[in-house]
């Protein structure tokens, strides 16, 4: 029996697909799985597991409420699930000019712009580490410093009204071009009303004390690394919490830093899990485990204050700042 | 500085492999001796490997194979919950299964799903990864068929699709992938069948570490310029791309075949210098684009990158800004679409570059095969434009570019812009742009990016847009399908038309197509055509955002 040619062509296609599926879809990957069982390779093929996790996969060093555990080096912010969730890897996908928050009474309806997330994280990290959290385009209370400027004729003419779009309380500046700045009203979309969205640079240094990777969510949401700069910023706190010398902690940081491979590939990076495991190995029962500092689980309890530069003033901001700086 | 050395080292590595790897591929696609395994496959499939096909038969074979593939993959995804290694995941919903099946068969690998929460290991291995191989094989096969059209002397035939597919898959893709997968495993990419491990973190929380046959899929994802990640965050995920050197290696794999295929072209038409001319066009465009992307990204721009001090949102520390930007350029200059950083959070101009790269039609160097045939179409258009200037009948490689050839080439060029612009307009007209996360110019960029990516079979995503709705899955599925197979049919028709011609001997009036003048003209034609087509759309999106 001779089949019509269109049918025999599709049957040939089906046979080809089935043959190739067995070869490429089963034999090839399963052979490699078998190769992955070879000693020496098997640790890597199974995910580079160590005690408490994988050296390749970052994790959050926070307590059940999402607050940083001060005796551990902290990872970067993460957009994977509730933070460092390998079953829901993700980046934030917020754009470079995401600067206007959605304000709402109900927290479920509110959303923070990327700028406000950055500002809030910067403030929280600054507070935790006892340095200034100030950044360009950020207000002192840790939201994006953004005004909606209304002109009489749309884009031109004298300014008639100015609103600080991310703040419902006292605006970060009193006046703009001689016009009094109003706080935002929940529910108003000032861009739709014709306001020109104007981020305000402010006078923060262009190289803030809190490094870039500490205030941004990673691509994978599972970034196992922080920059050497962010590690260095955390050294004094860790030394204090653990009763170690800063030099001893710095040496551990150095031991867990990978430089650029071959001198030009990628960036220097500090593996946070390996570093924290090494810390626990060095001072498992140091003051961190039972001293007063361990109470610091509640963010910045009283213990560190005597040692930090900005004592009580920082405390007023602590609670808000740290919550906002959690994994959004 | 390190970032620039990174780029230069990639260029040097690709220059080094151009001749040996190109020559190897040439021997594969022109060889006539079959191995035992190949003869077995021909017998099982029931084809005569010696039978030559006309362009019509060749095209129908491509379409039949792809149609069967879409159907097979769709069914596999719909019943995955009943199969081995499903990890307890449910069947994939109908519109996502349709979108994914089309996406992988068309070499797009647009992902409207999150790998770790949607696909079991069998669906990944026997469904998605198989299409990674064969869709790449089809791209190379079609490019080779077009070259045969140029090289043929009145034969009218283009080879045999089944033989091409088998040989390319077995002799090029499979061995290189096996080696690359092994190298990636040494770097730490996982390769197991585990459903995952629960671990208790240092602070007492539970973390579910995922497993899977990742290395085997990762290798072909890059080598075949597919780009569909095993996990949601693709090549940013440390289990897919754990180190700084695996990152370099991944970009190398992306470029390996597309940049070496011009060597195959040069050898098949009997003039290696023609291959050098084509690879020069690709190289000039690629280097310019990579340099611009890295430069824009490193030098910031946009309020948030300025507030942060570096464009680190959506980038991992180990890659940093320059190597992430280089990856973004590589993945969109080809039809790969894998990402190691999230383009949505790039600086405004840095984020525009991936869109521009895709709008170039992915010819520098483009997807495996598709990049070469796309660039040869542009070369044909250039020859025609040059012929108009001097008033002679245009010729390319001894073949006359007449009315029929020009019609096919022009239609080819029009397919993707039509799909991109009509699709974007349709999204706004029907209100489906409302699923974009951002508003204003950035919202337009997100929609524009989605259709550009789908119609060019790239598959990278600007993110920030919810695309797993029935409208988006259907619309983007159609854009991928038409954006893949209309051009393939047109290319094969052109190849058939060229194959029927006898060779015209070179005369004084023939424009030499191997000299810098011609290279410059092809670059110019490519840039001008793309600029004329897409500048209005770009002006409303990323350019408006970058200048505001």
Phi, psi of B368 (to 5 degrees): -60, 120
Q: Which residue has the higher pLDDT, A152 or B436?
A: A152
Asked if B456 is an interface residue toward chain A (Cβ–Cβ < 8 A), one would say no
The whole-model pTM stands at: 0.92
Q: A274 with A306, same domain?
A: yes
Chain A contact for B167, CB < 8 A? Answer: no
Note the pLDDT tens digit of each residue in B306-340: 999 999 999 999 999 999 999 999 999 999 999 99
Instruction: Spell out which residues of chain A touch residue B312, defining contact as CB-CB under 8 Å.
Output: 212-213, 216
Can you tell me the mean pLDDT for A31-35?
Answer: 97
Whether residues A225 and A259 share a domain: the answer is yes
Tell which of A137, A168, A199 closes a domain: A199
Count other Cβ atoms within 10 Å, centred on residue B402: 14
Nearest CA in chain A to B310: A212
CB contact under 8 A, A265 and B129: no
Q: Quick one: pLDDT band at residue B404, thresholds 50, 70, 90?
A: very high
Among A106, A103, A99, smallest CA distance to A183 is for A103
**Do A283 and A220 share a domain, yes or no?**
yes
Closest-CA distance, B110 to chain A, in angstroms, reads: 16
A190 contacts in B (CB within 8 Å)?
none
- Nearest by CB to residue B316, choosing from A35, A63, A220, is A220
Residues A192 and A234 in one domain: no
Distance (Å) of CA B531 to CA A6, B16, B538: 42, 33, 9
Q: What is the pLDDT of residues B172-193, one digit of tens each?
A: 999 999 999 999 999 999 999 9
pLDDT at position A323 over 80: no
Beta partners for residue B47, in sequence order: none
- Residue from the list B239, B309, B442 with its beta carbon closest to the beta carbon of A47: B239
In a domain, A47, yes or no: no
Beta strands in B202-349 (DSSP E): 206-209
Asked whether B382 and B498 are in contact (CB, 8 A), the reply is no
pLDDT at position A326: 30
Confidence of residue B393 (pLDDT cuts 50, 70, 90): confident
Average pLDDT, chain A: 86
Q: pLDDT confidence of B547, banded at 50, 70, 90?
A: confident
- Out of A63, A135, A280, closest to residue B307 by CB: A135
State whether B303 and A199 contact (CB < 8 Å): yes
The shortest C-alpha distance from B498 to chain A (Å) reads 25
Would residue A130 count as lying in a domain?
Answer: no
Do B445 and B543 form a contact (C-beta atoms < 8 A)? Answer: no
| Residues above pLDDT 70, as percent of chain A | 86
Query: H or E stretch including A318?
Result: helix A312-324
Predicted confidence (pLDDT) at residue A322 exceeds the cutoff of 90? no
- Is the residue at A15 inside a domain? no
Which residue in B has a C-alpha nearest to residue A34's C-alpha? B192
Instruction: For residue A117, tell me if it sits in a domain.
Output: no
- B515 touching A (Cβ < 8 Å): no
Q: What is the pLDDT of residue B418?
A: 96
* CB contact B203 to A (< 8 Å): yes
Chain A residues inside the 8 Å CB shell of B460:
none
Compare CB distances from A98 to B41, B244, B304 and report the shortest one's residue.
B304
Range with the poorest average pLDDT among A2-11, A38-47, B379-388, B447-456: A2-11
Q: What is the pLDDT of residues B74-96, one digit of tens each?
A: 999 999 999 999 999 999 999 99
Hey, of A266, A270, A278, A280, which one would you mutate to test binding to chain B, going by the most B CBs within 10 A of its CB?
Answer: A266
In angstroms, rounded to a whole number, what is the distance separating the alpha carbons of residues A177 and B526? Answer: 48
pLDDT at B286 over 80: yes
Phi and psi at B538, nearest 5°, equal -65, -35
pLDDT value at residue B178:
98
Q: pLDDT-derived band of residue A293, with 50, 70 and 90 as boundaries?
A: very low
For the cut 90, the answer to whether the pLDDT of residue B431 exceeds it is: no
In this model, does residue A221 exceed pLDDT 70? yes
Residues with Cβ within 8 Å of A313's Cβ and at least 6 positions away in sequence, in order, are none
pLDDT-derived band of residue A6, with 50, 70 and 90 as boundaries? Answer: confident
Tens digits of per-residue pLDDT, A80-134?
Answer: 999 999 999 999 999 999 999 999 988 888 999 999 999 999 999 999 999 999 9
Token pair, residue B420, equals 């991109």
Mean pLDDT of A310-326: 32
Q: How far apart are CA B139 and CA A147, in angstroms?
A: 52
Contacts of A211 in chain B (CB under 8 A): 309
Res A20: pLDDT: 97
pLDDT at A191 over 90: no
Residue A311 has pLDDT above 60, yes or no: no
Residue A186 located in a structural domain: yes
Q: How confident is residue A1, by pLDDT bands cut at 50, 70 and 90?
A: low
Q: Are residues A188 and A228 in the same domain?
A: no
One domain for residues A257 and A304? yes
Q: Is residue A255 a contact partner of residue A278, using CB atoms and an 8 Å limit? A: yes
Tell me which chain B residues have a C-beta less than 8 angstroms from the C-beta of A14.
Answer: 68, 72
Q: Cβ contact (<8 Å) for B345 and A261?
A: no
Please list the residues that pair with A161 across neighbouring strands. Answer: A150
Q: Report helix, strand or coil for A198.
A: strand
pLDDT digits (tens, 9 = 90+) for A71-93: 999 999 999 999 999 999 999 99
Average pLDDT taken over every residue of chain B:
94
Residues A85 and A225 in one domain: yes
In a domain, A194, yes or no: yes
Residues on chain A touching B120 (C-beta within 8 angstroms):
none
For chain B positions 208-227, those within 8 Å of chain A (CB to CB) are: 208-211, 213, 215-217
Q: Which of residues 302-341 of B touch A (CB under 8 A)?
A: 302-320, 323-324, 339-341
Output the pLDDT for position A303.
35
Q: Which domain holds residue A158?
A: 146-199
Range of the domain at B366: 2-547
Q: How confident is the model at residue A284 (pLDDT cuts 50, 70, 90)?
A: low
Question: Which residue of chain B is at minimal alpha-carbon distance from A138?
Answer: B307
Half-sphere exposure (Cβ direction) of A222: Cα atoms closer than 13 Å: 29
Residue A163, SS3 per DSSP: strand
How far is A192 from chain B, CA to nearest CA, in Å?
Answer: 10
Q: How many domains does chain B have?
A: 1
Paired with A183 in beta bridges are: A164
Residue with the bigger pLDDT between B407 and B469: it is B407
Q: Do A29 and B216 touch (CB under 8 A)?
A: yes
Sign of CA dihedral B37, B41, B44, B48: negative
Torsion of CA B283, B284, B288, B291, to 10 degrees: 40
CA nearest B130 in A: which residue? A25
Pick the residue with more confidence: B438 or A267?
A267
**Which of the residue ranges B236-245, B374-383, B423-432, B463-472 would you say has the lowest mean pLDDT?**
B463-472
> B441, B461, B449, B459: which is closest to B355 by C-alpha?
B449
Question: pLDDT, tens digit, for every residue of B107-120?
Answer: 999 998 999 999 99
**Nearest neighbour of B129 by CB, restricted to A24, A56, A138:** A24
Question: Tens of pLDDT along B35-71?
Answer: 999 999 999 999 999 999 999 999 999 999 999 999 9
Among B165, B224, B250, CA closest to A23: B165
Percentage with pLDDT > 70 across chain B: 100
Give yes or no for residue A291 having a pLDDT over 80.
Answer: no
* Partners of residue A13 in chain B, C-beta under 8 Å: 61, 64-65, 67-69
Closest partner CB to A32 (pick from B191, B208, B464): B191
Residue A316: is its pLDDT beyond 50? no
Q: Measured between CA atoms, how close is A201 to chain B, in angstroms?
A: 8
pLDDT digits (tens, 9 = 90+) for B131-155: 999 999 999 999 999 999 999 988 8
Residues counted in chain A: 328
Count of domains for chain A: 2
* Shared-domain flag, residues A185 and A273: no
The more confident residue out of A317 and B283 is B283
- pLDDT tens column, A231-255: 999 999 999 999 999 999 999 999 9
Give the one of B189, B237, B303 whose C-beta lies nearest to A96's C-beta: B303
């Amino acid at each position: 029996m001779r089949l019509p040619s269109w049918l025999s062509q599709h049957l040939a296609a089906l046979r080809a697909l089935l043959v190739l599926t067995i070869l490429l879809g089963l034999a090839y990957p399963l052979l490699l799985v078998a190769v992955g069982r070879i000693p020496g390779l098997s640790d890597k093929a199974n995910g580079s597991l160590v005690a408490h996790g994988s050296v390749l996969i970052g994790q959050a060093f926070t307590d059940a409420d999402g607050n940083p555990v001060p005796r551990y080096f902290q990872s970067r912010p993460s957009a994977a699930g509730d933070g460092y969730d390998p079953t829901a890897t993700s980046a934030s996908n917020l754009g470079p000019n995401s600067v206007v928050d959605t304000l709402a009474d109900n927290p479920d309806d509110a959303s923070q712009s990327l700028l406000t997330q950055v500002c809030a994280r910067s403030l929280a990290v600054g507070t935790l580490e006892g340095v200034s959290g100030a950044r360009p385009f950020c207000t002192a209370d840790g939201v994006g410093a953004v005004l909606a400027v209304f002109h009489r004729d749309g884009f031109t003419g004298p300014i008639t009204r100015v609103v600080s779009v991310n703040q419902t309380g006292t605006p970060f500046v009193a006046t703009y071009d001689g016009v009094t700045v109003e706080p935002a009203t929940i529910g108003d979309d000032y861009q739709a009303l014709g306001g020109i969205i104007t981020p305000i640079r402010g006078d923060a240094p262009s190289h803030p004390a809190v490094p870039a990777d500490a205030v941004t969510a990673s691509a994978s949401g599972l970034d196992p690394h922080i920059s050497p700069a962010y590690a260095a910023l955390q050294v004094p706190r860790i030394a204090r919490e653990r009763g170690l010398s800063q030099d001893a902690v710095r040496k551990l940081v150095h031991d867990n830093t990978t430089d650029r491979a071959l001198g030009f590939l990628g960036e220097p990076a500090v593996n946070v899990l390996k570093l924290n495991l090494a810390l626990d190995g060095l001072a498992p029962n140091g003051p961190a485990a039972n001293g007063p500092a361990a109470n610091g689980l509640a963010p910045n309890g009283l213990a560190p204050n005597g040692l930090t530069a900005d004592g009580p003033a920082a405390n007023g901001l602590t609670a808000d700042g740290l919550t906002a700086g959690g994994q959004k | 500085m390190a970032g620039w050395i990174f780029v230069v080292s990639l260029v040097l590595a690709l220059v080094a492999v151009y001749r040996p790897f190109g020559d190897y591929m040439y021997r594969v696609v022109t060889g006539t001796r079959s191995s035992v395994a190949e003869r077995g496959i021909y017998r099982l499939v029931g084809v005569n490997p010696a039978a030559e096909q006309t362009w019509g038969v060749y095209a129908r074979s491509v379409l039949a194979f792809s149609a069967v593939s879409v159907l097979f993959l769709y069914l596999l995804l719909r019943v995955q919950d009943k199969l081995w290694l499903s990890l307890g995941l449910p069947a994939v919903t109908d519109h996502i299964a349709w979108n994914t099946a089309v996406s992988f068969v068309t070499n797009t690998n647009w992902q409207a799903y999150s790998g770790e929460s949607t696909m079991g290991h069998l669906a990944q291995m026997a469904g998605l990864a198989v299409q990674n191989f064969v869709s790449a094989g089809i791209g190379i096969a079609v490019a080779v068929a077009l070259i045969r059209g140029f090289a043929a002397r009145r034969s009218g035939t283009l080879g045999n699709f089944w033989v091409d597919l088998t040989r390319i898959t077995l002799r090029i893709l499979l061995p290189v992938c096996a080696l690359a997968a092994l190298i990636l495993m040494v770097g730490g990419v996982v390769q197991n069948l585990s459903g995952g491990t629960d671990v208790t973190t240092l602070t007492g929380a539970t973390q579910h570490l995922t497993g899977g046959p990742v290395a085997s899929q990762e290798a072909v994802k890059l080598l075949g310029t597919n780009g569909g990640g095993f996990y949601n965050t693709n090549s940013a995920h440390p289990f897919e791309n754990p180190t700084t050197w695996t990152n370099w290696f991944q970009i190398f794999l992306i470029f390996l075949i597309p940049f070496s295929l011009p060597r195959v072209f040069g050898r098949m038409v009997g003039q290696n210098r023609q291959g050098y001319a084509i690879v020069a066009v690709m190289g000039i465009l690629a280097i310019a684009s990579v340099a611009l992307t890295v430069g824009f990204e490193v030098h910031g721009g946009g309020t948030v990158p300025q507030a942060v001090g570096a464009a680190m949102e959506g980038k991992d520390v180990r890659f940093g800004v320059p190597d992430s930007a280089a990856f973004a350029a590589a993945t969109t200059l080809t039809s790969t679409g894998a990402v190691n950083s999230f383009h949505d959070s790039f600086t405004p101009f840095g984020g525009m570059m991936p869109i521009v790269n895709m709008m170039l039609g992915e010819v520098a160097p483009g997807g495996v095969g598709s990049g070469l045939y796309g660039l040869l179409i542009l070369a044909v258009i250039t020859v025609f434009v040059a012929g108009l200037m001097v008033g002679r009948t245009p010729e390319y490689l001894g073949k006359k570019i007449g009315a029929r050839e020009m019609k096919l080439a022009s239609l080819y060029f029009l397919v993707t812009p039509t799909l991109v612009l009509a699709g974007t307009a349709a999204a706004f007209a029907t209100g489906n742009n409302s699923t974009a996360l951002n508003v204003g110019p950035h919202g337009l960029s997100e929609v524009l990016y989605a259709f550009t990516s789908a119609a060019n079979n790239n598959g990278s995503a600007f993110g920030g847009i919810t695309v797993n709705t029935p409208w988006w899955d259907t619309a983007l599925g159609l854009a991928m399908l038409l954006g893949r197979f209309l051009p393939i049919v047109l290319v094969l028709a052109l190849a058939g038309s060229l194959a029927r011609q006898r060779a015209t001997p070179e005369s004084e009036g023939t424009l030499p197509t191997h000299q810098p003048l011609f290279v410059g003209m092809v670059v110019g034609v490519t840039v001008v055509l793309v600029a004329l087509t897409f500048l209005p759309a770009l002006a409303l999106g990323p350019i408006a955002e970058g200048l505001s």
